[in-house]
């Protein structure tokens, strides 16, 4: 029993070692470069070497995930962390043999996702990903409002500019695609605005109002949501790691609370006397 505890402590120390984490990040980057190298025809002559490197990286990831699992006091504690589950799924998916002709495409696609393991290993990336995932539901309402504006402007544009160019304003779906081009500023002036203004000189009001709503209002709303969630995630991260202003404020509150309790105890003792 003692030997198991000793081994677990050693594995836990290895898992927390900064050099080990840096080496794991290095292997993940090498895995990404290996995947990219396979997309070039010039590397076909090194196919055997690339295959052996892929096997070595897969075995290393398997050993690394086993070390992290063995370092836990209880195995179920490992799977309580969502990022650990993500890493486990990616590593298990990488075990699909790449030599099987029927599974080559699937295996290569799954190996691409090994690059995402950088997110689980680097805390700052975890904060960014967590903020993005939490911001998506709130951003969905902005996207819904954008769709309503697109739909209204698409319908109006289809009614007004149908005779100008049926390829741009033929129906509401085509008109919404045209408006998407306008919203992304992809050659919108020469391809959409000027031809329309040749028939309707006042059409600039239609386009500028649409651009103002989408490029300025809705885009800033998206940015505001992401920044708000990012601030909350950073504050939570600082509290968990004990760094930053949020952690200092929490420590100060604890000190003030402790001093208040001590003062109340002294007052109670004085009252008894």
Of 80-89, 200-209, 264-273, the poorest mean pLDDT is in 264-273
Q: What's the whole-number mean pLDDT along residues 263-270?
A: 66
Task: Give the model's pLDDT for residue 122.
Answer: 80
Q: Is the pLDDT of residue 151 over 90?
A: yes
Confidence category of residue 254, pLDDT binned at 50, 70, 90: low
Residue 250: pLDDT over 60: no
Residues 6+ apart with CB under 8 A from 112: 35
Tell me what pLDDT residue 240 has. 67
Q: What is the pLDDT of residues 25-44, one digit of tens each?
A: 888 888 888 877 777 777 66
pLDDT at site 209: 92
**pLDDT surpasses 60 at 244:** no
Mean pLDDT of 156-185: 89
pLDDT single digits (tens) 230-242: 888 777 777 766 6
Domain limits, the chain: 1-121, 138-231, 242-271
Residue among 103, 64, 70 at smallest CA distance from 87: 64
Is 184 a residue whose pLDDT tops 60? yes
pLDDT tens figures, 77-116: 888 887 788 888 888 877 766 565 556 666 677 777 778 7
Percent of the chain with pLDDT over 90: 11
Using 50, 70 and 90 to split pLDDT, how confident is the model at 253?
low
Task: Name residue, tokens 């954008």.
Answer: 146
- The predicted pLDDT at position 104 comes to 64
Residue 167's pLDDT band (cuts 50, 70, 90)? confident
- At 133, the pLDDT band (50, 70, 90 cuts) reads confident
CATH tag, 138-231: 1.10.287.70
| CATH superfamily for domain 1-121 | Voltage-gated potassium channels. Chain C (1.20.120.350)
- The Cβ of residue 124 has, within 10 Å, a number of other Cβ atoms equal to 10
**How much of the chain, in percent, has pLDDT values that exceed 70?**
80
Q: What would the pLDDT profile of 2-12 be if each residue is shown by its tens digit? A: 667 677 777 77
């Amino acid at each position: 029993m003692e030997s198991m505890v000793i081994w677990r402590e050693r594995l836990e120390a290895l898992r927390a070692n900064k050099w080990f984490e840096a080496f794991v990040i290095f292997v993940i980057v090498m895995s990404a470069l290996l995947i990219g190298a396979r997309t070039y025809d010039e590397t076909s002559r090194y196919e055997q070497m690339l295959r052996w490197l892929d096997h070595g990286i897969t075995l290393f990831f398997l050993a690394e995930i086993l070390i992290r699992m063995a370092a836990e006091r209880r195995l179920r504690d490992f799977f309580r962390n969502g990022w650990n589950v993500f890493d486990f799924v990616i590593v298990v998916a990488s075990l699909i043999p790449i030599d099987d002709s029927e599974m080559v495409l699937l295996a290569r696609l799954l190996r691409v996702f090994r690059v995402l393991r950088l997110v689980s290993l680097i805390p700052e990336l975890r904060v960014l990903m967590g903020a993005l995932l939490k911001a998506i539901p709130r951003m969905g309402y902005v996207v819904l409002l954008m769709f309503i504006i697109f739909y209204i402007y698409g319908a109006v544009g289809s009614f007004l500019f149908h005779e100008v160019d049926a390829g741009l304003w033929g129906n509401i779906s085509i008109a919404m695609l045209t408006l998407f081009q306008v919203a992304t500023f992809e050659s919108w002036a020469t391809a959409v605005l000027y031809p329309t203004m040749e028939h309707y000189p006042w059409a600039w009001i239609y386009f500028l109002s649409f651009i103002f709503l989408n490029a300025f209002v809705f885009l800033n709303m998206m940015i505001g949501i992401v920044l708000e969630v990012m601030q909350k995630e950073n504050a939570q991260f600082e509290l968990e790691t004990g760094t930053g202003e949020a952690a200092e404020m929490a420590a100060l509150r604890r000190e003030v609370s402790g001093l208040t309790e001590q003062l109340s105890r002294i007052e109670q003792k004085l009252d008894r006397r």
